């Protein structure tokens, strides 16, 4: 955006103001907000159960009392469990568990992971159970055909916890994500990615409330920065694009077109003293 002398009858952003604005609203890969989006998506890659399937001759049935203290007492797991209330079963879930023919077993896998829970007639994990992963992460919840399905909680040894709905081994439906660094997301998921309406909070205290698609901000949303500046408008793949309004805490307002986080196209800029460009 160009600049005009301050004594002009037509007003616009000074060069300094434009630079400040660009700095304030930039959402490039160096910023915490984008880094945390990447972290939220990466939690579901590399440690989920879907690769931990073994032939029946490779697994070993052990006593249901088989010790899992090394998993439960891990300091990271303990810290993460404090981020959410204790995982409790609903009356409906209790009823479903008590009215099934599935057996309760404990299984030791070749990679030293352990499963304690319900097994169907095919020897598959089905029903309620607890899976202690080889890397120290823990999943507690429901299974179907050897995959996570229904409600459950994953506590990741790398500092993340997710609780919500699963389908076919992936997060699908409503779920809550928390990290020890303060990152938080509550909203809907589709195949391990944020999709639909959600609320995301970042370690610096800034937050976003709005639409997501394929794990990125897409569609209308509201972004509140740590300095209390606010943007409300349209996003495309985490970038401000299209129509939107930016409100500075000092009273400045811009309403108009945006492209890749920058004012671009027709718009109205209003100063606290009501001068406009």
Sequence ranges of the domains in the chain: 10-47+169-277, 49-158
Q: Quick one: pLDDT at residue 24?
A: 45
Q: Quick one: pLDDT at residue 42?
A: 59
Q: Quick one: pLDDT at residue 26?
A: 41
Q: Quick one: pLDDT at residue 41?
A: 60
Q: Which segments of 120-196 does DSSP mark as H helices, in order? A: none
Q: How far apart are CA 17 and CA 22, in angstroms?
A: 9
> Domain 10-47+169-277 is in which class?
alpha beta
Q: Quick one: pLDDT at residue 59?
A: 84
Torsion angle, alpha carbons of 65, 49, 168, 124, to 10: -40
Q: How far apart are CA 268 and CA 27, in angstroms?
A: 22
For residue 251, which phi and psi values (nearest 5 degrees)? 105, -10
Q: Quick one: pLDDT at residue 147?
A: 93
Predicted structure pTM score = 0.79
CB-CB contact of 143 with 169 (8 Å): no
| Cα distances (angstroms) measured from residue 249 to each of 254, 262, 271 | 12, 18, 11
| Cα distances (angstroms) measured from residue 204 to each of 198, 220, 226, 229, 242 | 18, 22, 6, 13, 26
The helix/strand/coil state of 181 is: coil
Q: Quick one: pLDDT at residue 165?
A: 97
State which residues of the chain have pLDDT below 70: 1-57
Q: Quick one: pLDDT at residue 54?
A: 46
């Amino acid at each position: 955006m160009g600049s005009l002398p301050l004594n002009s009858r037509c007003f616009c952003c000074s060069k300094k103001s434009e630079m400040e604005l660009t700095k304030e609203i930039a959402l490039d890969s160096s910023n915490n907000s984008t880094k945390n989006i990447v972290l939220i998506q990466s939690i579901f890659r590399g440690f989920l159960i879907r690769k931990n399937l073994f032939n029946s001759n490779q697994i070993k049935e052990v006593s249901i009392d088989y010790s899992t203290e090394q998993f439960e007492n891990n300091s990271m797991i303990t810290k993460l469990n404090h981020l959410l209330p204790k995982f409790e079963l609903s009356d409906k879930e209790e009823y479903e568990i008590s009215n099934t023919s599935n057996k309760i077993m404990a299984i030791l896998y070749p990679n030293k992971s352990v499963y304690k829970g319900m097994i169907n007639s095919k020897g598959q994990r089905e029903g309620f159970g607890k899976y202690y992963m080889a890397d120290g992460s823990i999943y507690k919840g429901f299974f179907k055909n050897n995959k996570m399905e229904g409600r459950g909680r994953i506590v990741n040894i790398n500092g993340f916890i997710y609780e919500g709905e699963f389908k076919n081994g992936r997060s699908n439906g409503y779920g809550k994500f928390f990290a020890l660094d303060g990152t938080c997301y509550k909203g809907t998921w589709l195949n391990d990615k944020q999709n639909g309406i959600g609320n995301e909070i970042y370690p610096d205290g800034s937050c976003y409330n709005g639409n997501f698609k394929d794990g990125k901000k897409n569609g209308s949303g509201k972004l509140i920065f740590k300095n209390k500046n606010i943007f409300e408008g349209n996003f495309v793949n985490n970038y401000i694009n299209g129509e939107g309004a930016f409100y500075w805490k000092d009273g400045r307002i811009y309403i108009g077109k945006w492209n890749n986080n920058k004012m671009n196209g027709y718009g109205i800029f209003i100063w606290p003293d009501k001068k406009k460009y």
